[in-house]
């Protein structure tokens, strides 16, 4: 994705992602470190795009019926 394509992207903190997914921050850090959830490092913290969170959740759904 080119830099110009990122202008409308919403970046979320780890805490915001955890709240959105109803999991702990540690779970989100684990997903980031395992490479399951793409993230950008900004200084000492991480940011995850809302689009990447949506994509992760979409891929994670399974049929339990």
Domains, the chain = 9-60 (1.10.1660.10)
Helix, strand or coil for residue 14? helix
pLDDT computed for residue 65 by the predictor:
60
Between 2 and 6, the more confident residue is: 6
| Nearest-angstrom CA–CA distance, 22 and 42 | 23
What's the pLDDT tens digit per position in 10-62?
Answer: 999 999 999 999 999 999 999 999 999 999 999 999 999 999 999 999 998 87
pLDDT computed for residue 7 by the predictor:
73
DSSP one-letter code for 23:
S
0.75 surpassed by pTM: yes
* Cα 30 to Cα 22, 43, 55, distances in angstroms: 15, 18, 17
pLDDT computed for residue 19 by the predictor:
97
| Residues with Cβ within 8 Å of residue 5, at least 6 apart in sequence | none
In the block, residue with structure tokens 């689009």: 51
């Amino acid at each position: 994705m080119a830099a110009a394509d990122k202008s409308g992207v919403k970046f979320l903190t780890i805490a915001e992602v955890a709240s959105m997914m109803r999991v702990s921050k540690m779970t989100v850090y684990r997903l980031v470190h395992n490479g399951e959830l793409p993230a950008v490092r900004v200084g000492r913290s991480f940011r995850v795009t809302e689009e990447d969170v949506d994509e992760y959740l979409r891929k994670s759904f399974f049929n339990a019926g």
